[in-house]
A and B are shown apart, each in its own frame.
Chain A
Amino acid sequence: MVTTPLLPSDYLDLVSPLRAGADLRGRIEAVHPETGDAATIVIRPGRGWRGHTAGQYVRIGVDVDGVRLWRAYSLTSPTDRRDGRVTITVKAIPDGKVSNHLVRKAQPGTLIQLDQATGDFVLPRAKPAKVLYLTAGSGITPVMGMLRDSELDDVVMVHSAPQPHDVIFRSELHDLVAAKKLRLTELHTDTDGMLDIARLAELVPDWAERETWACGPAGLLDAAEAHWTEHGVQERLHTERFRAGIVVTGDGGEVTFSATGKTVEADGATPLLDVGEEAGVLMPSGCRMGICFGCVTPLKAGAVRDLRTGEITEAEPGVLIQTCVSAAAGPCDIER
C-alpha cells in the first residue's frame, strides 16, 4: 500500500539486488580465460541461492545489447567453495550471442539473472567403485564440476577436443593425472580423428563395468547410447545434452496453438493473428498494424519472422511476439 503500484522490492532492488527475498540474481566478479574461446565466469549468487550438486547446470539471464537472453551452463565450481561463489565455464560457439558475450565482453560487476541449479546429471549418493567420464569439447564442464567436488577411487576419463590447446582445464586435468587421481585419455580430433565408440574397449577395457557419465555433441551421445544399449548396460550410462534441438527457420510452417490444441499450416506471409483467427482460435488483437502491442502472445517453440523488418525471433522462455506483424518462419508454437 505504501508503494503502490510498485512493490517495496522495486525500491530495495535499487540498493541491494542480491539480498534475501529478492528475485534470484548474481554478480559477475571475475572472468578467467581458459582457452582461446572459453572462459570461466565467477559469480556471486544472491542470498536466495540454494546451492547445487556437482554436475548440475544453472540457467542465467544475461543482457546482450540490451536484450535479456537466457541460457543454461554447467556449474564448474565445487559445491563447498569457501567464498560462496560459483563458476560456469563457457565456450564461445560460432554466432552464439550469449556465449560470445560472456567469453569476450562480460565485465566484472555486471548483474545477471539466475535460476536455481537443476539437472540430474549428478553422482549418486553412494559413490560408485569405478567411473568413466566420456566427454568432448565443452561437454567437459559438468564433469569438471564433479572432479573438483568429489574424489573417487577409480576414475577414467576419455576426452576429445580438436587440438591440445582447445582442451579446457588441461593443466588442471594433467595435475590430477600426476597426483594419480585420474587416468586420462586425451583425443585430439584434428589429428586423431573422431572417437570411434566401437573401439572404446581399446582405450578402456573395462568400460562396461564402469558407471559412465557422458557429455558432448549429440553425435557422441547418440553413439554412446546405441553402444551401451547394444551391450545391455544402458543403465550404467548417464548423459547430458546441452542443446535440445536447433530451430529450423524457413518460410511458413506448421503453427500449433498449444492452449487450444489446434495445428494449422501457415505460409510465410500471413500474420499469425490472421492464421489463428482463421483457425477459430480466440486471439487477442488491437490495431492489426504493429503499433498497439495489444496482441502480444508467448512464442513457446519455433521461430517467427517480423513482416516489417524480416527479423527472426526464436522461441525462448518469456519471449512474446506481436502476432499481427509476425508470420511463421518454420514450425512454431503459439500459446493460445
Chain B
Amino acid sequence: MTAIDPTAHLTAEQIEELGRELDAIRDEVIADRGEKDAAYIRKVISAQRKLELVSRGVLLFSIFPPAWLIGTAGLSVAKIMDNMEIGHNILHGQWDWMRDPKIHSTTWEWDHVSPSEQWKHSHNELHHTYTNVIGKDNDLGYGIMRVDEDQRWHPFHLGQPLWNFLNACFFEYGIAAYDLELGKNLHKRRRKNPEFRARAKAVGRKIRKQVLKDYVIHPLLSGPSFLPTLAATFTANLVRNIWTHSVIMCGHFPEGVQVFERRSIKNETRGQWYLRQMMGSANISGSKAMHFMSGNLSHQIEHHLFPDLPSNRYAEVAVKVRALFEKYELEYVTGPLPKQVFSAWHKVFRLSLPNKKPKVKTPAREQELVAA
C-alpha cells in the first residue's frame, strides 16, 4: 500500500461516473457480441487440438533430436493455449453466451492438475471479487509470499525468491494446492473435514489422470522413444508453467499496483469496485502474438474490469479503458513482459526482507482540510 492514495483526487461522484462509463463500454461489447467472436474461439480450440495432435504425433519419433525439438515446442505452445486463451477464459464464462455445451464454463475441463470446478471458486469468485484486498485475496503472494510492505514479515519470507522459483516450475501443482487451501487445511482438525477430503480426492484423481497421460501412456506409445517423449512432456509442462506463472505475476505484482485494506471494501459501490480493479491490476504491452499467448491476460486491467467479456475483445476495450485512466488522471500500469517480470521479481526479493512500517502520510485531501 503506498502512503499516498493515488485516487484521492477523485470525488465520490466522479467515481460513480467512472463506473457508468465503464458499464457503457461493457454494454457496447455485449450488444455487438456475435458470430465473429464465436468463430474466433472455435478456431482457436480447433487449432489447439490440431497442434497438440501433431506434436504428440511427432514425439512418437522423438528419439531423433529434431523431432524432439519440434514436438516439444509444439506441445508447449498447445498446452499454453489450452490453459490461457482457452481454459482460463472459458472457465470465466466468457463464452457461455454461445449456449454451446462443449464450450461452457460448467462443462469445460482443462489440461491442468487443478479441477476446473475448484479453480473457478478460488479464482473467479474469491480473487476476482476481492482483488488485492489483503487477507481476502489469497492471490496476493499465494499465501507463501509477501508482496506488499503492509503484510507482516516472517522469517519464512527470507526464502520467498526460492519458493517463487519452485512455484513457477510446478505452477499447476501450486495452483491445485492453492485451490485446496492446503496451508490452512492441513491442520489436524481440518484435514478430516469431509468436504475438504472430497476436494482433495478430486485433485488426486485429476493428478493421476494427467500424470498417467503425460508421463506413462504417451511415452509408452512412443516405444523406443519412451525416454525422449517423457522428457519432452516434462519440458512442455515446465515451459507452460513458467510462462503462465510469469504472465500471471505481471497481472498484480509489478511496482505501481495498489493493494487494499479489508475495511476499505466495506459498502463498496460499483464505481469503487471498478476503481479497485483498475488500481489493482497491471498490463503487459506487446505484439498480437504476445497477447494471444498470454490468453489476453496481458490486458489484465481490462480482464479485471470485465472478466466475462470474450478475451478477443480486450484489445479494443483497452483503448477506451486507457482513455478513461487518462481522463481521471490515474496511472495505467503497463510495460513489456521482461520489464514487468523483472519488476515483480524485484518486489519478491525486496519484500523477502523486513521493512520499516511506512510512515502513513496524511492523504492530500485531508491536508487541504487541515490547512483550511
Residue ranges of A at the interface with B (Cβ–Cβ < 8 Å): 1-6, 10-11, 14, 63, 65-69, 286-287, 289-294, 296, 308-309, 311, 318-320, 322
Contacts and interface: CB of A to CB of B under 8 A. Distances in A.
Residue among A1, A65, A292 with most chain B CB within 10 A: A292
B109 interface: yes
Nearest to A289: B129
Interface string B194-222: 00000000000010011011000110010
Residue among B99, B100, B212, B218 with most chain A CB within 10 A: B99
A291 B129 contact: yes
Interface stretch (B3-11, B32-40, B278-286, B342-350): B32-40
Contacts of B106: 293, 296, 320
Contact of A66 (B33, B53, B105, B110): B33
B96 interface: yes
B125 interface: yes
B30 interface: yes
Contacts of B30: 309, 311
Interface string B25-63: 011001001111111000000100110010000000000
B218 A292 contact: no
29 contacts: A1-B209, A1-B213, A3-B213, A4-B209, A4-B212, A10-B49, A10-B102, A11-B49, A11-B53, A14-B49, A14-B50, A63-B35, A63-B100, A66-B33, A66-B98, A68-B98, A69-B99, A286-B124, A291-B307, A292-B93, A292-B124, A292-B128, A292-B307, A294-B124, A296-B96, A308-B26, A308-B27, A318-B101, A319-B99
Given A14-B50, A292-B129, A286 B121 contact: yes
Given A2-B217, A296-B106, A67 B308 contact: no
Contacts of A296: 93, 96, 105-106
Contacts of A69: 99
Residue among B50, B125, B128 with most chain A CB within 10 A: B125
A contacts with B: majority SS: loop
Interface string B99-124: 11110111001110000000011001
B213 A293 contact: no
Interface of B: 23, 26-27, 30, 33-39, 46, 49-50, 53, 92-93, 96-102, 104-106, 109-111, 120-121, 124-125, 128-129, 206, 209-210, 212-213, 217-218, 221, 273, 307-308
Contacts of A6: 49, 109
B43 to A, nearest CB: 12
A296 B99 CA distance: 12
Contacts, number: 104
A73 B96 CA distance: 26
Nearest to A113: B100
Contact of B213 (A2, A65, A290, A308): A2
Given A292-B128, A293-B96, A308-B23, A63 B308 contact: no
A67 B30 CA distance: 13
Nearest to A310: B27
Contacts of A1: 209, 212-213, 217
B96 A291 contact: no
Given A2-B213, A5-B209, A293-B92, A318 B124 contact: no
A141 to B, nearest CB: 26
B50 A65 contact: no
Nearest to A286: B125
B234 to A, nearest CB: 17
Contact of A65 (B35, B46, B104): B35
Contacts of A293: 92-93, 96, 105-106, 120, 124, 308
A3 to B, nearest CB: 8
B208 to A, nearest CB: 10
B121 A5 contact: no
A309 B104 CA distance: 21
B173 to A, nearest CB: 16
A286 B39 CA distance: 30
The 10 closest A-B pairs by CB, nearest first: A66-B38, A293-B93, A292-B124, A5-B109, A65-B34, A292-B125, A286-B125, A287-B129, A68-B99, A4-B209
Residue among A1, A5, A11, A287 with most chain B CB within 10 A: A5
Nearest to A306: B30
Contacts of A289: 129, 273
A4 B213 contact: yes
A303 to B, nearest CB: 15
B125 A63 contact: no
Given A66-B33, A66-B37, A287 B217 contact: no
Contacts of A5: 109-111, 206, 209-210
Nearest to B115: A5
Contacts of A318: 99, 101
A294 B121 CA distance: 7
A248 B128 CA distance: 36
B124 to A, nearest CB: 4
Nearest to A311: B30
Nearest to A298: B106
Given A65-B35, A66-B35, A320-B96, 12 more contacts: A2-B218, A3-B213, A4-B209, A5-B210, A63-B100, A66-B37, A68-B100, A286-B129, A292-B129, A292-B307, A309-B30, A319-B99
Nearest to B102: A10
Contacts of A309: 27, 30
A162 to B, nearest CB: 33
A308 B27 CA distance: 9
B27 A287 contact: no
B308 A291 contact: yes
B112 to A, nearest CB: 8
A269 to B, nearest CB: 15
Contacts of B217: 1-2
Given A11-B53, A14-B46, A4 B124 contact: no
Contacts of A286: 121, 124-125, 129
Nearest to B91: A293
B121 A63 contact: no
Contacts of B209: 1, 4-5
Contacts of A311: 30
A236 B125 CA distance: 59
A2 B30 CA distance: 38
Given A2-B218, A14-B49, A67 B124 contact: no
A81 to B, nearest CB: 30
